[in-house]
Amino acid sequence: MSSLKGWKDLPPATTVPASTSEAVQTGQWRSMRPVWDEEKCIHCLQCWIQCPDKSIKANADGKVTGIDYFYCKGCGICAAVCPKNAIEMRPEAEFIEQ
């Protein structure tokens, strides 16, 4: 929650300046979080191909580098397609920031 604005900093009247969905943190909807284990990963990129939210981060060398949680809704496709069980789905409750 800490990356979200407080009521004093929000624009008034429900408005969004120059509206775009790009800045909307849809990852807020997630209840299960994919957690990537670098040691098990063989960089087959199955998860990168299948992710519907472009949330698997990979570099120019074709290596997975992690998961971007900004849009990730926790659908679990990445964990399901992983041939090495390198992605574990864990309850979001374990990650609540106080």
Partner 1 sequence: MPRKDITSGNWAVAEAMRQINPDVVAAYPITPSTDIPMRFSEFVADGLVDTNLVTVESEHSAISACLAASVSGARVMTASSANGVALMHEIFPIAASYRTPIVFGLVNRCLGAPINIHCDHGDSMAERDSGWIHIYCEDGQEVYDTMIMAVRIAEHKDVLLPAFVCQDGFITSHCFEPVEFLDDEQVTKFIGEREPLLSLLDVDNPVAYGSLALTDYFFEIKRQQVEAMKHVEKVYNDVAADFAKITGRNYPLVDKYKTEDADYIMVIMSSAAGAAKETVDKLREQGHKVGCLRIRLFRPFPASEIVGALKGAKGIAVCDRAASLGAAAPLFTEIKGALYDAGIHIPANTYVYGLGGRDFFPHNAEEAFMDLINNKMSPEERYLGLRE
Q: Which positions lie near partner 1, rule CB under 8 A?
A: 4-7, 10-19, 24-25, 28-29
DSSP 4: S
Tokens in use for 62? 């074709």
Between 21 and 85, name the residue whose CB sits nearer to partner 1. 21
Residue nearer to partner 1 on the CB measure, 14 or 98: 14
Q: How far is the CB of 98 from partner 1 (least distance, A)?
A: 17
> Which DSSP category does 76 fall into?
-
The residue (of 28 and 65) whose beta carbon lies closer to partner 1 is 28
Residue number, 5 or 59, with CB nearest to partner 1: 5
Q: From the CA atom positions of the chain, what is the Rg in Å? A: 16
Residue type, 14: T
Nearest-approach distance from CB 31 to partner 1, in angstroms: 11
Handedness of CA 90, 92, 97, 98 (dihedral sign): negative
Shortest approach of partner 1 to residue 3 CB, angstroms? 10
Structure letter (DSSP) for residue 89 = E
